Amino acid sequence: MTPDSLFSIVSAAVLPGWLALACAPLARARLVLAARVIAVLLAGLYVSLLVTGLAGEGPPAGAGFSTLDGVRLLLSSPQALLAGWVHYLVFDLWVGSWEAEDNSLPHWQLLPCLALTFLAGPTGLLLYHLLKAGRKARS
């Protein structure tokens, strides 16, 4: 399977998890679990991509985490870039599941947090914490 086709598959595979979180008040524990199962399955794919990528040609010379150029080189192959994308998908979905499980916000306030976590991970997490702190300060 090509990295492009796998990209399409994993990008679609994460959507049921986000839909489950959006519907969390209906059956919170089961729907959060469903989202986490999807995240764990994608985490397995991530590990597989890392292992096969390391077993192949390996990273290019100069690749690493100590410079921005080094990170760019790390992600220069389609497989490495796909692994990076799966990394984002898994962690954003896991953070969204944590937000939904925490149950600190009314669902109408949680929904924009989940949407932002899905689209721009840390932004949604920040909004979640700001709203949570605001609720705590008012009580």
Please say whether the beta carbons of 4 and 80 come within 8 A: no
pLDDT in tens, 69-101: 999 998 998 989 999 999 999 999 999 999 999
In angstroms, the CA 88 to CA 102 distance is: 21
Average pLDDT over residues 114-121: 98
Query: How far apart, in whole angstroms, are the C-alpha atoms of residue 39 and residue 44?
Result: 9
> Domains in the chain: how many in total?
1
The pLDDT of residue 125 is 98
In angstroms, the CA 107 to CA 89 distance is: 22
Quick check: helix, strand or coil at residue 57? coil
Q: Which tens digit of pLDDT belongs to each residue from 9-41?
A: 999 999 999 999 999 888 999 999 999 999 999
DSSP single-letter state for residue 24? G
Domain span at residue 13? 3-138
Q: Rounded to whole angstroms, how far apart are CA atoms 69 and 34? A: 38
- Structure pTM? 0.92
